[in-house]
Amino acid sequence: MEKLKQRENNKVLLTHKVDEEVYLRLFNEDDAEEFYNLTIDSKPYLKEWLGWLDYIESVEDSANNIKARLKGFVENGGYPKSFAIIYKGKIAGTIGFNDLNKTNRTGVMGYWLGEKFQGKGIMSKAFKTVIEYGFTELELNRIEVSVAVENNKSRALPERFGFTKEGEIRQAEWLYDHYVDHVIYGLLSEEWNGKH
């Protein structure tokens, strides 16, 4: 993973180059409108599995989300917890750690990709990069993914990258008008390092 510092409009953007088309970078407040539009354009698609979409009603809501991410960056000692996924210069989605526990050195990953960016291998590349980031730069011992049992696209990622299915949690999440069960996947640093 190649770490870059890019300058754009006199701002330094922390960027991880994944390949020639895909970058992961820290969100900045100027991303609010583009991130909002991506969210709204993909809302019918994303709503099947993401329970927070009705709370995004304006560009300001996306700006507040980005501000919270930037606060997490500062609280985490200058290491980003989450990234914008950039594909050919456009925000395609987001990936990172929804929760980090420094005492136990664990991280819980979360991710989503806009509908028009599906099927291009973008998320697989970003997922692998964030696993590597978690184990090397954040020095995590364990990375966890919690995903709805029937969300086969999201489940395919941890399964592809060697996570162990550790169990299911009944009625783990309320999605607008019903509960869904979650599958918990875990991957240990020693397992990742042994294969990569």
- Asked if residue 117 lies in contact with residue 80, where contact means CB atoms within 8 angstroms, the answer is no
> What's the pLDDT at 117?
96
> What's the pLDDT at 1?
43
> What's the pLDDT at 14?
67
Which residues of the chain are modeled with pLDDT < 50? Answer: 1-12
Q: What angle do CA 76, 82, 84 make, to 5 degrees?
A: 140
User: Among 196, 145, 192, 8, which residue's Cα sits nearest to residue 86?
Assistant: 8
> What's the pLDDT at 69?
80
> What's the pLDDT at 9?
45
178-188 sheet: strands from edge to edge: 2-8, 11-17, 22-25, 82-87, 90-101, 106-113, 142-148, 178-188, 164-175
| Model pLDDT for residues 108-119, shown as the tens digit of each residue | 999 999 999 999
Fold of 2-195: Aminopeptidase (3.40.630)
